[in-house]
Amino acid sequence: MKQQLGEILDQVLRRNPGEAEFHQAVREVFESLEPVLRKNPQYVDAAVLERLCEPERQIIFRVPWVDDEGRVQINRGFRVEYNSALGPYKGGLRFHPSVYLGIVKFLGFEQVFKNALTGMPIGGGKGGSDFDPRGRSAGEVMRFCQSFMTELYRHLGEHTDVPAGDIGVGGREIGYLFGQYKRITNRYESGVLTGKGLSWGGSLVRTEATGYGTVLFAERMLATRGQDFDGRRVVVSGSGNVAQYAIQKAQQLGGHVVACSDSTGYVLDEQGIDLPLLQHVRDVERLPVSTYAERRGATFVPGRRVWEVGAQVALPCATQNELDEGDAAALVRSGVLAVSEGANMPTTPKAVALLQDADVLYAPGKAANAGGVATSALEMQQNASRDSWTFEYTEQRLAGIMHAIQDRCLATADEYDAPGSYVVGANIAGFTKVADAMLALGVV
C-alpha cells in the first residue's frame, strides 16, 4: 500500500509541475492514509485518491481593468472547483500578488477536507487573482472586482459554487463582487456569496468566525490536558481579519496576547494588544503595524517573525509556510503548550514534526480554521430561509461545530492507532467522509 501511495504521489507531481504548495498539501495528507486504504480496499478499487487529486474543474481567465490614471491593467483570475461530492463548491477568493494556480489548487485541496470536517453539506473550491489591493484606491478595487466577476459569474450559483473572502478580500470586495453579480444576472441571489454585509444578507459572527474558531479549537485542545487560556501568554501572526478576531477571542477567554505582525515585522506589546487601535490602524487607515506600535508605545521589530517572542499559545493566522523548523524550536524552548492554525498550511512539515515530537498540542488548519467556512454555511442556511439569527445563537452554533471537529479528530486518531495526533485525525476523518460520498455517486 505504501508503494501504491508513492506511485500516486509521483503521478500527481508529474501532472502538476512547479506547484510546490499543492505538492506539499497532497504529500501531507498521503502520509496519513496508508492504514485507511488498507482497511478500506474499496477506496483503492474505485481510484478515489487519484480522483481526489484531480480537481473537477479549473478555470483561468483574464481580468482587464483601468486604473485611476487611465492605464489598462491586466491580471489573471482563477477558480478551482475542486470537489462537489458533499455539496456545492465552497471556498474563498484570495487577491494577492503570490496567487498562481498551484496556490489555488493547494487551498482548494485543503478546503475539501476542511469542509467535510464541519459536517455541513458543502464541497470544496478556491479562487482568486494575482491582483494586489494594497495601495489601490476604492475605485480601482471596485473596477477590478467588477471585471473579475464579469467572467466568474457564469460559473457560480447557490447550488453550484459559493465563494467567500480570503486574504485581500474582505467585506468591501465582497460587496463589489456581489453588486456586479446582481447587475449581470438580474437576480438577488444572496446565497451565491458569503461574507456579505449584515444589511444585505450577511450573517452575524461570519466576520469573526475564522479567528474565533481557531481559538475555540485551541481551548478544546487545552482542556484535554486540564488547561485553558486564562493567564496564558499568546502570540498571533498576522493582523488582518483572522488574526484580529483570534486576538479578541483569546482575550475574552483570559489570554494575554502580546504580539501580532504583518509583512514588515512584528509588534511586541507587553501591556496586551489594544484591539480597537489595531483595527483602526489596519482596517480604517490601512497602515502597517509599525504605526500601531508608534501610537501605542509598543516595540516594533522590523523584518523578523513573531515566533521569537516567548508564548504558551501560538496562533499562526497569516499565510502558508510562515512557521518553519527554527521558529518551532524557538516556540518549544519558550514552553509553548499549543499551536492552532488560523491560516492555511502555515507550518512547514519539519516544524510540524518538531512540535509533535515535543508533545505540543498542534492543530492543522483544515481542522482549526474551519470556523469561517462553517459559518459561511450557516449564512447560506439563513439566506435560503430568508432568516437572520442572533449573534449569540450563531456563535453557539460555531462553538458546537468547532468542538465537534476537535472531538472527531481525536476519536479518529485513536481509531487508527495515532492517539493525540490531530493531523492524522483531521486527514482521515475528512478523507473518509468525502471518499464515501464519492463511492456513493459513482465514477463522475
pLDDT digits (tens, 9 = 90+) for 174-222: 999 999 999 999 999 999 999 999 999 999 999 999 999 999 999 999 9
Statement: residue 313 has pLDDT above 90 = yes
User: Looking at the structure, do residues 219 and 318 belong to the same domain, yes or no?
Assistant: yes
DSSP per position, 278-294: HHIIIIIS---HHHHHH
What pLDDT score was predicted for residue 122?
98
Number of domains in the chain: 2
- Residue 61 domain-assigned? yes
pLDDT tens, position by position, 147-179: 999 999 999 999 999 999 999 999 999 999 999
Residue 302 resides in a domain: yes
Strand 313-316 relative to strand 361-363, pairing: unpaired
Cα distances (angstroms) measured from residue 1 to each of 34, 36, 105:
6, 10, 25
Any known ligand binding at 241? yes
**What residues contact residue 332 under an 8 Å CB cut-off, 6+ apart?**
354, 355, 358, 360
DSSP structure class, residue 323? B
Helix residue ranges, H only, 170-233: 171-185, 209-223
pTM exceeds 0.85 for this model? yes
Whole-number pLDDT of residue 3: 86
* CA pair distance 23, 181, nearest whole angstrom: 33
Instruction: Quote the pLDDT of residue 2.
Output: 81
Q: CB of 376 within 8 A of CB of 162?
A: yes
Q: Which of 2, 39, 105, 126 is catalytic?
A: 126
Per residue in 242-268, pLDDT (tens digit) is 999 999 999 999 999 999 999 999 999
Q: What is the mean pLDDT of residues 290-317?
A: 97
Q: Which three cell numbers stand for residue 356?
A: 509533535
- pLDDT at position 207 is 93
Q: What is the pLDDT of residue 46?
A: 96
Is 210 part of any known ligand binding site? Answer: yes
241 with 363, same domain? yes
pLDDT given at position 279: 97
Domain end residue (candidates: 307, 339, 368) = 368
Q: What number is the average pLDDT over the span 301-319?
A: 96
Residues facing residue 59 across a β-bridge: 79
**Domain C-terminal end among 317, 349, 368:** 368
The helix (run of H) or strand (run of E) holding residue 375 is: helix 371-384
Residue 137 binned pLDDT confidence (cut-offs 50, 70, 90): very high
Q: Are residues 164 and 222 in the same domain?
A: no
The CATH number that applies at residue 237 is: 3.40.50.720
Closest-CA residue to 162 (of 111, 207, 209, 200): 111
Put residue 290 in one of left, alpha, beta given phi > 0 → left and psi -120 to 50 → alpha. alpha
- Residue 147: what pLDDT? 98
Query: Is 347 assigned a ligand-binding role in the annotation?
Result: no
Q: Does residue 351 sit in the same domain as residue 262?
A: yes
Report yes or no: 337 and 309 within 8 Å, Cβ to Cβ: no
If asked whether residues 133 and 221 sit together in one domain, one would say no
Cell 481542522 identifies what position? 367
Q: Do 189 and 366 touch, CB atoms closer than 8 A?
A: no
Q: Is 421 annotated as a binding residue?
A: no
Q: What is the mean pLDDT of residues 390-418?
A: 97
* CA 416 to centroid of chain Cα atoms: 26
Confidence of residue 400 (pLDDT cuts 50, 70, 90): very high
Asked whether residue 75 falls in the same domain as residue 178, the answer is: yes
d(CA 307, CA 322): 10
The range of the structural domain enclosing residue 238 comes to 210-368
The string of pLDDT tens digits covering residues 57-116 is 999 999 999 999 999 999 999 999 999 999 999 999 999 999 999 999 999 999 999 999
Minimal CA–CA distance to 113: which of 33, 10, 196? Answer: 33
Residue 39 among known ligand-binding residues:
no
With respect to residue 25, please indicate whether it lies within any of the assigned structural domains: no
Based on the residue annotation, tell me whether 126 is a catalytic residue of this protein: yes
Helix (H, G, I), strand (E, B) or coil at 78: strand
Is 111 a known ligand-binding residue? yes
Phi, psi of 87 (to 5 degrees): 160, -175
